[in-house]
Amino acid sequence: MRDLILFAAFLAIIPFIFKRPVVGTLAYALVSLMNPHRLTYGAATFFPFAMYLCIATLLALLISREKKKLPMSPPVIVLMLFFAWYTIGAVLAQDPTAAWFDWDRFSKIVLMIFVTMLTVRTVSDVKLLALTVALSLGFWGVKSGIFVLLSGGGQGLKGPSSSFIGDNNTLALALVTITPLIAYLITQVDSKWLKRGVMGIAGLTALAAIGSYSRGALLGACAMGFFLWLKSSQKFKTGLAIAVLVPIVLLSMPPEWTGRMQTIETYEEDESATGRINSWMFALNVANAFPQGGGPNVFSPHMFMLYAPNPERYYDAHSIYFQVLGELGYFGLALFLTLFAVSWRLGSKIVRFCRGKEELEWASMLARMCQVSMIGYMTAGAFLTLAYYDLIYYVITILVVLDKVLIRYPQPDNTPPMRIGLVERYRERARAKAAATAQRKARSAFPR
């Protein structure tokens, strides 16, 4: 049944993609981030939905008469340079077969990121992009948060199989990163009940991230909580909520969770932590040996035998920074960090532009939450291997398209204004219908 629903939705959306290519980019983002096909058990499980959505979107983009402008803002330029250096790393890689496999996957992500920047043209498009990205992973936040509540802790927590976020650590990083965008949605909902529902999604997502037994996610959540308070327009209410909720969550966790988190202070006695240090030293040795790095997917048992301090202890990079350092060298790491620096500055530019403009308060809030998302990703990512995960590039894309539609290429939005509150839309229609009925009754009561 799930397979049929997914195939039906896929076929139904194709005509809308050719009508407006941005529909294809939003559908691709949903499939890429949420992985709904991994929830099926039949033919849809391994069907390449993302590939066909990509092809349809590219064809629609070619024949579309819409203006196609790629905003050449600093994040866009740095991302181009970063991908070019990534390609050079693949050409000169120590293990070409493994390197080109990773290059193929990352190239598709970068391609669709640029296509998203091209097709998002209006304010409504930006809001829909933020909504799609937030709820795509918000689904896994709700699912994982319920699992944590029912199990008394998130041990055994898993994401969608055969994806970037298949295990508890990578899923936790994704949930930490997405929580601020879900918090942004709370401010955009009109209905009281929908607002409570989105607050529940945000709470379950944060609970799942903390209860995932991921120490990196805990550190990321702490850093993100501080910046969430710092970026909030209502610091007292936000600080009070954090001060009340954090002790409740921590005290409700089982002793096993507390014991694992305490190993942050005693990392030299933890086998996993010392294995990560071995991987980090391996990355340093590879970067010192090869100016361009060892190439994508260089963290392999064969290379560990040559460059790791302890060749017999093979671990993944367990850090976005050491992952990039080992694969792309010091210059690649510099480009990677520069990408976040210029994206942060772009977010600050958008906030300054929106200051004092009540109609742009939503954009200011969205830009601030994107910055908080980057803080969560960069903190938790210091201990997790997800340097090329498309979620963070979508967060940066939201900032780029905000700058595009508000500052660089502002234009009137002819599409209907997006309302997240479906209940509010129903109420508006009911009020209009009631007003029309009242007018008819008034006319019948006073005939000419």
- Does the pLDDT at position 342 exceed 90? yes
Q: What is the pLDDT of residue 417?
A: 45
Q: What is the pLDDT of residue 109?
A: 94
Range with lowest mean pLDDT among 150-159, 231-240, 255-264, 294-303: 255-264
C-alpha span between 89 and 411 (Å, rounded): 40
| Residue that has been written with the tokens 């909720």 in this structure | 245
Q: What is the pLDDT of residue 170?
A: 84
Mean pLDDT computed over 77-100: 93
Q: What is the pLDDT of residue 419?
A: 44
The predicted-structure confidence for 270-311, as pLDDT tens digits, reads as follows: 566 677 888 899 999 999 999 889 999 898 888 888 888 888
Angle separating helix axes 215-231 and 168-188, nearest 10 degrees: 20
Percent of the chain with pLDDT over 90: 37
Q: How much is the mean pLDDT over the chain?
A: 82
Q: What is the pLDDT of residue 428?
A: 65
Q: What is the pLDDT of residue 92?
A: 92
Q: What is the pLDDT of residue 420?
A: 44
- Does the pLDDT at position 166 exceed 90? no
Confidence of residue 267 (pLDDT cuts 50, 70, 90): very low
Mean pLDDT computed over 16-23: 91
Q: What is the pLDDT of residue 154?
A: 56
| Residue that has been written with the tokens 């944060």 in this structure | 206
Highest mean pLDDT among 155-159, 259-263, 288-292: 288-292
Q: What is the pLDDT of residue 418?
A: 43
The predicted-structure confidence for 205-219, as pLDDT tens digits, reads as follows: 888 877 776 666 666
Confidence of residue 246 (pLDDT cuts 50, 70, 90): low
Highest mean pLDDT among 61-70, 251-260, 387-396: 387-396
Range with lowest mean pLDDT among 20-24, 178-182, 437-441: 437-441
Q: What is the pLDDT of residue 60?
A: 92
Q: What is the pLDDT of residue 64?
A: 85
C-alpha span between 235 and 229 (Å, rounded): 6
Mean pLDDT computed over 422-435: 61
Alpha carbon of 195 to those of 129, 130, 184, 201, 422: distances in Å? Answer: 19, 16, 11, 10, 11
More confident residue, 357 or 246: 357
Question: Is residue 320 within 8 Å of residue 279, measured between CB atoms?
Answer: no
Confidence of residue 236 (pLDDT cuts 50, 70, 90): low
More confident residue, 342 or 37: 342
- Does the pLDDT at position 327 exceed 80? yes
Question: Is residue 323 within 8 Å of residue 299, measured between CB atoms?
Answer: yes
Question: Is residue 104 within 8 Å of residue 50, measured between CB atoms?
Answer: no
Confidence of residue 425 (pLDDT cuts 50, 70, 90): low
Tokens of 295: 């190439």
Per this entry, what is the length of the chain? 448
Confidence of residue 241 (pLDDT cuts 50, 70, 90): low
